[in-house]
């Protein structure tokens, strides 16, 4: 079976809204068997995980002062992710923006790299996802699938 894309769900399942990337990835996996899905705790693991994949979509919780549950889609191959951008302000020590820019500097970006972030608010250990973030999971999964379907178009 041909795998059309790699979807990476980032997040810590024990930290409330931080688990949203994993939930989105699981929903994508349940809906489409021709998409390879993996779950990771830390963005620094993504660089090795995407390897030589042609199309990669990373989904994660983000904090950018938006409303919880808001979805952001960024084509990381089309533009540099600057420090302070939404993708660099996650809950991880080495943020997703830093990983993407390191991969860019090393010439290890996939041909197409899209980031689907869900605005999050609650990151305390042992908490569940907030209602707004949990409610955004289906729409975020749809955004991931739309990004894959619209290959070759701008995100």
Q: Give me the number of domains the chain comprises.
A: 1
Q: What is the pTM of this model?
A: 0.88
Instruction: Identify the domain containing residue 28 by its residue range.
Output: 5-149
Higher pLDDT, residue 50 or 84: 50
Q: Has residue 36 been placed in a domain?
A: yes
**Chain-centre distance for alpha carbon 120:** 13
Q: Has residue 155 been placed in a domain?
A: no
In tens, the pLDDT along 51-70 reads 878 899 999 998 887 899 99
Alpha-carbon gap, residue 94 to 127, rounded angstroms: 23
- Report the SS3 class of residue 55: strand
* R_g of the chain, CA atoms, integer Å: 14
User: How buried is 154 (Cβ within 10 angstroms: 0-12 exposed, 13-18 middle, 19+ buried)?
Assistant: exposed
Q: How many CB atoms lie within 10 A of CB 79?
A: 9
Residue 117 near residue 63 (C-beta atoms within 8 A): no
In tens, the pLDDT along 108-149 reads 999 999 999 999 988 889 999 999 999 999 999 999 999 888
Q: Has residue 89 been placed in a domain?
A: yes
CATH number at residue 36: 3.40.50.1450
Q: Has residue 154 been placed in a domain?
A: no
Q: Has residue 75 been placed in a domain?
A: yes
Q: Has residue 127 been placed in a domain?
A: yes
Tokens of 52: 């030589």
């Amino acid at each position: 079976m041909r795998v059309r894309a790699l979807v990476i769900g980032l997040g810590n399942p024990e930290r409330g809204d931080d688990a949203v990337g994993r939930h989105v990835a699981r929903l994508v996996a349940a809906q489409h068997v021709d998409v390879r899905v993996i779950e990771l705790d830390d963005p620094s693991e993504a660089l090795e995980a995407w390897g030589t994949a042609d199309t990669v979509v990373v989904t994660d919780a983000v904090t950018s002062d938006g409303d919880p549950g808001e979805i952001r889609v960024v084509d990381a191959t089309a533009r540099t992710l600057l420090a302070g951008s939404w993708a660099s302000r996650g809950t991880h020590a080495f943020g997703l923006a830093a990983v993407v820019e390191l991969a860019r500097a090393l010439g290890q970006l996939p041909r197409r790299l899209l980031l689907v972030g869900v605005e999050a608010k609650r990151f305390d250990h042992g908490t569940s996802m907030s209602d707004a973030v949990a409610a955004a999971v289906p729409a975020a999964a749809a955004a991931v699938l739309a990004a894959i379907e619209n290959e070759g178009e701008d995100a």
